[in-house]
Structure 1
């Protein structure tokens, strides 16, 4: 009995050992088992593909080792490739739209060969200049406006052929007020014309300080509309040439040739109580309305309430002391008297705006061809069209005999009313310069770089 029991136990142990060895073999040594989750695809070498598959494409179903196919894996792979390809195409289309919508940048050089170039650059475009020394022989700067990157060059060392030309578009800033200036401006125009003829330049615009009597006929042959090469003209004063297409009016600005600076508004400038009703520091020409103004000031004893300094002869340059004296008068007066000279538009108007001193402007025409309809004679048309069209908050007089009544109204104004008026003037002048910058940039964009 014991022997039979021992045999049975031995037999059971033997079966257990055999089963364990078989199980271990299947787990560790048998690689032919294929699970339903992880299917093993037979690897096909290049030689096998050529011999056994008869040129079968890589996209054809790959046979499993057991001779079957795995259509689910092939469908998933094809779908993944399709999604990836579609996303790539969508991304490329998105990049193309971005590139199409992105505004193209352009380069324009400005050659400043007249003092009004500094008003354009520093006051309108608000560009930097290096070096900062105003007496430097060569000064340059760069600024962006709209789609244009402007480069500015000025100073005595900026001569023909010495400006590094890295664009085909140039704006010339010139002075054509008198014969000597016209001769100098003509040489620069001829230089630009030669560059156009040799295809070094494609586009030329001119900012011109024209004649105070609007006698600018010497300039006409250079305009493209008259067979020349100048695409666009920005012209100072109320010329009848202004048509808002290829001839646009440009502001005279401040006297940069006398080193009048860029003035930054401050709270004190707006709110301070100014000791003078008005000011006039300037030259009194014989037989001009300025003589009439001085007589009225003396007759009504207004010299005590207004800061008045008159001289008989015009002086082209300021000293540091006279410039400081003039700026102080603007900053300490509620009003700045602006009698006409050869032309109603004068530097004093813009300089008064810089300090929040309201310009009192003599609203009369002058002799010459600057009226709306042209021709000789005073009083034709309305002067100061650019400023009036911009809504300038000035005080306009037809005759200086109206000044005493105007000053009487000033005396009755409260400090709060004066502060509010001063604030409006400074805001208007800032907006005016911004508008001129935008118009300047847009005119160049449309004329130089328009498509179609």
Structure 2
């Protein structure tokens, strides 16, 4: 009996020792398994590996795509540079100062230039146009006064009203201002487009002409003048009254080839004691109103 108990105790002791040795081996000596990565980490790692694979893939059109991109970038750069330097590349720069209604006829009907704002009652209106290597700009409105705007060219066309004494006084102020700019070397050349007197009395502007000791290189005068020589003094058309909302007519060959409905026409305002009263008398007395299209205005 004692022997049996002794054997059982020995077996239990041996089992305990074996269990203790296994536990010590599991804790201190057995290598640990790596912790499984989380789902987010596995996804990031997968993306990185996929990107690396895509980067390493060979693209047979890669060189051509890069060349096309470089060419497009260079082309856009040159285009922007050309557009930005349009004014700087102009060989001739002319600024037109419109201080009479005929300035609008010059700019809108002859140059066919843009004008902003479109509001005819605006205090300041301006526009610009480039033709070949020449750049033209135009300013007009009551806010355009001597010394209070930027002179952007060394060649100026000054549009003035010299039809009557009150207008002449205002026109001479502009001529004095232009003369000051010439003397201070801020201007090189000045041309004048003048709405003259219907009686051809424009002697007041003669001293300003360069061949008379003045500074005005060219004079374009409306109506007439005994000084018209087709060299530095020219006759200029009256044009149309832009403030009456006459449309800008685009010329075409039909204007030259098609027969005209009337032999002459008269469309204008008949002022008292003006030559237009005489024109109306001639047209009516000779019954030219049947051959001519006549539409007078009293005011």
2:189 and 2:293 mapped to 1: Cα distance? 48
Q: 1:218 to 1:306 in 2, by over 3 A?
A: closer
Superposed displacement of residue 292, structure 1: 4.1
Residue 229 of structure 2: aligned partner: 243
1:257 and 1:188 mapped to 2: Cα distance? 23
Total equivalences in the alignment: 207
Residue 173 of structure 1: aligned partner: 159
Mapping of 1:247-266 within 5 angstroms? Answer: 247-264=233-250
Residue 234 of structure 1: aligned partner: 220
1:168 and 1:272 mapped to 2: Cα distance? 44
**Alignment pair present for 1:189 and 2:175:** yes
**Alignment pair present for 1:143 and 2:129:** yes
2:91 and 2:134 mapped to 1: Cα distance? 6
- 2:112 is paired with a residue of what secondary structure? coil
1:153 and 1:259 mapped to 2: Cα distance? 19
**Alignment pair present for 1:294 and 2:284:** yes
**Alignment pair present for 1:113 and 2:103:** no
CA contact (8 A) 1:254 1:260 kept: yes
Unaligned runs of 5+ in 1: 1-102, 316-452
- 2:109 is paired with a residue of what secondary structure? helix
CA contact (8 A) 1:204 1:229 kept: yes
Unaligned runs of 5+ in 2: 1-88
Superposed displacement of residue 244, structure 1: 2.6
Residue 220 of structure 1: aligned partner: 206
- 1:149 is paired with a residue of what secondary structure? strand
Q: 1:271 to 1:242 in 2, by over 3 A?
A: closer
Q: 1:117 to 1:295 in 2, by over 3 A?
A: same
- 2:182 is paired with a residue of what secondary structure? helix
Q: 1:145 to 1:250 in 2, by over 3 A?
A: farther
Superposed displacement of residue 153, structure 1: 0.2
Which of 113, 133, 149 in structure 2 is aligned with 1:127?
113
2:271 and 2:172 mapped to 1: Cα distance? 33
- 2:95 is paired with a residue of what secondary structure? strand
Superposed displacement of residue 245, structure 1: 2.4
CA contact (8 A) 1:284 1:291 kept: no
Residue 57 of structure 2: aligned partner: none
Structure 2-normalised TM-score?
0.59
CA contact (8 A) 1:284 1:290 kept: no
Mapping of 1:26-425 within 5 angstroms? Answer: 105-264=91-250, 283=270, 288-297=278-287, 314-315=298-299
Q: 1:257 to 1:281 in 2, by over 3 A?
A: closer
- Structure 1 residues 122-131 or 159-168, which shifts more? 159-168
CA contact (8 A) 1:284 1:310 kept: no
Q: 1:261 to 1:135 in 2, by over 3 A?
A: farther
2:253 and 2:232 mapped to 1: Cα distance? 40
Mapping of 1:433-444 within 5 angstroms? Answer: none
CA contact (8 A) 1:140 1:152 kept: yes
Structure 1-normalised TM-score?
0.40
1:172 and 1:187 mapped to 2: Cα distance? 12
Which of the two has higher C-alpha Rg? 2
Q: Deviations over 1:107-146 (max 9, x none)?
A: 1111000111111111111111111122211110111235
RMSD: 3.5
Residue 13 of structure 2: aligned partner: none
Q: Deviations over 1:147-179 (max 9, x none)?
A: 320110011111111221122221111111111
